[in-house]
């Protein structure tokens, strides 16, 4: 049997149909499909902009609100952003494509400790999320500790994020992920990381039972869009491709080299993300190899976020309570604040994210 033709429409009320038709067809540019009865019309169907409407005289429904999405709002309805139709329906004209608008950073010194039992919440695809920067610095950044308790196949779909910067750092276990134009399945093992350039399509496929990742996104609130058309993998890799000026960066711990860190007493492996993002952000893993406590320092980064991956340390900051930190803790240091890392254990290892990627550090 042939599949029946099925359509859906939105029902709107009207007091007088002849008053509404010029607005919907003229101002909004919709097309009249049906109208009846002929001698005194009281019902009309219209279509346009991916929407089908039925306007019916005396319909016992609220007038509703229609959002018109367009990438050229100035050319639609003479540039009006808000209108009210004769039947009372409100019209909003908004951008079709989500835009990245990073709020100005609200700087603060903040510490988030795992032992303080910060709540885990269930997010997208059944993943558990723990917020590492509760204030999100006024919406400038989000840092999440994510785990998948049982591992196995992940019920994810091909999707992308409208972001300015995004990092996935595998903290424990492993995870298999597919990325647009990056060839076959890619496995992130503990210590590996990738950047997800703005709007790169990707899908999480499988994870080990003990998988934990650190995800950083700028700005804090960003749109996730499902791509129902793309299938991954989508062919051979294209390492040189850029998404809004950023390349896909895959950093593998086992192939990294270690160099002196910005703070004496530490060495670091540079992930190459500062170069791949053209200075938008920098990601380094630092480990302590000194014999004495490092000196006090201050930095000039707009955002400096650190996650303690292993070991213990004491964090002192000018005018702040001294904090003893251990694995799973995180902190944010604002620019210009004098801080000191002390009582560092031999197994101390830190994940540091800075925006922008280049940071000047002054020893105090």
Mean pLDDT of the chain: 94
**Confidence band (pLDDT; 50, 70, 90) for 97?**
confident
For the ranges 91-95, 123-127, 351-355, the lowest mean pLDDT is seen at 123-127
Q: Choose among 306, 269, 310, 264: nearest CA to 286.
A: 269
Clarify whether residues 205 and 172 are in a common domain: yes
Mean pLDDT on 91-114 = 91
pLDDT at 3: 67
Clarify whether residues 231 and 340 are in a common domain: no
pLDDT at 150: 82
Clarify whether residues 205 and 314 are in a common domain: no
Question: In this structure, is residue 356 part of a structural domain?
Answer: yes
Q: Which residues contact 186 (CB under 8 A, 6 or more apart)?
A: 176, 177, 178, 179, 194, 250
pLDDT at 307: 98
pLDDT at 96: 85
pLDDT at 125: 62
Q: In DSSP terms, which residues pair with 54 in a beta bridge?
A: 11, 45
Clarify whether residues 246 and 263 are in a common domain: no
* Domain final position from 219, 251, 283: 251
Mean pLDDT on 53-60 = 96
Question: In this structure, is residue 294 part of a structural domain?
Answer: yes
For the cut 70, the answer to whether the pLDDT of residue 117 exceeds it is no
pLDDT at 301: 98
133: buried, middle or exposed (CB in 10 Å: 19+, 13-18, 0-12)? Answer: buried
- The total domain count for the chain is 3
Question: In this structure, is residue 105 part of a structural domain?
Answer: no
Residue range 177-211, pLDDT digits in tens: 999 999 999 999 999 999 999 999 999 999 999 89
CATH number, domain of 45, equals 3.10.180.10
Q: Choose among 217, 287, 276: nearest CA to 251.
A: 276
CATH number, domain of 293, equals 2.60.120.10
Residue range 151-160, pLDDT digits in tens: 899 889 999 9
For the cut 80, the answer to whether the pLDDT of residue 161 exceeds it is yes
Question: In this structure, is residue 275 part of a structural domain?
Answer: yes
Question: In this structure, is residue 1 part of a structural domain?
Answer: no
**Strand, helix or coil for residue 205:** strand
pLDDT at 128: 87
Clarify whether residues 241 and 260 are in a common domain: no
Question: In this structure, is residue 283 part of a structural domain?
Answer: yes
Structure tokens that stand for 232 in this block: 């991954």
What range defines the domain where residue 323 resides?
255-363
Name residue, tokens 């070991």.
Answer: 311
DSSP assignment of 92-113 equals EEEESS----PPPP----EEE-
| Strand boundaries in 133-207, DSSP class E | 142-147, 152-153, 159-162, 165-172, 174-179, 186-189, 193-195, 202-207
Question: In this structure, is residue 284 part of a structural domain?
Answer: yes
């Amino acid at each position: 049997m042939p599949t029946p033709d099925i359509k859906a429409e939105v029902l709107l009320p009207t007091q007088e149909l002849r008053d509404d038709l010029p607005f919907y067809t003229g101002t909004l540019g919709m097309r009249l499909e049906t109208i009846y009865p002929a001698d005194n019309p009281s019902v009309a169907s219209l279509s346009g902009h991916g929407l089908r409407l039925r306007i019916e005289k005396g319909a016992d429904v609220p007038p509703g609100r229609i959002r018109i999405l367009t990438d050229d709002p100035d050319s639609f309805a003479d540039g009006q952003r808000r209108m009210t139709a004769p039947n009372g329906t409100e019209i909003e004209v908004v951008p079709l494509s989500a835009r990245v608008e990073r709020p100005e950073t609200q700087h603060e010194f903040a510490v988030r400790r795992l032992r303080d039992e910060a709540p885990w919440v269930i997010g997208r695809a059944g993943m558990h999320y723990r917020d590492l920067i509760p204030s999100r610095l006024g919406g400038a950044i989000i840092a999440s500790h994510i785990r998948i308790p049982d591992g196995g196949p992940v019920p994810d779909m091909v999707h992308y994020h409208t972001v300015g910067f995004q990092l996935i750092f595998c903290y424990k276990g492993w995870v298999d992920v597919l990325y647009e134009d990056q060839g076959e399945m890619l496995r992130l093992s503990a210590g590996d990381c990738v950047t997800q350039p703005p709007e790169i399509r990707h899908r999480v496929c499988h994870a080990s039972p003990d998988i934990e990742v650190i995800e950083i996104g700028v700005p804090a609130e960003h749109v996730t869009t499902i791509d129902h058309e793309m299938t991954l993998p989508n062919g051979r890799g294209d390492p040189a491709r850029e998404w809004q000026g950023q390349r896909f960066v895959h950093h593998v711990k086992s192939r990294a080299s270690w160099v002196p860190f910005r703070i004496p007493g530490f060495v670091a492996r540079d992930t190459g993300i500062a170069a791949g993002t053209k200075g938008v952000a920098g990601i380094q893993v630092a480990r302590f190899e000194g014999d004495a406590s490092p000196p006090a320092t201050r930095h000039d980064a707009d955002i400096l976020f650190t996650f303690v991956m292993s070991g213990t340390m004491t964090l002192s900051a000018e005018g702040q309570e001294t904090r003893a930190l251990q694995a799973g803790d995180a902190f944010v240091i604002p620019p210009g604040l004098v801080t000191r890392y002390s009582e560092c254990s031999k197994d101390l290892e830190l994940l540091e994210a800075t925006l922008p990627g280049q940071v000047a550090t002054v020893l105090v």
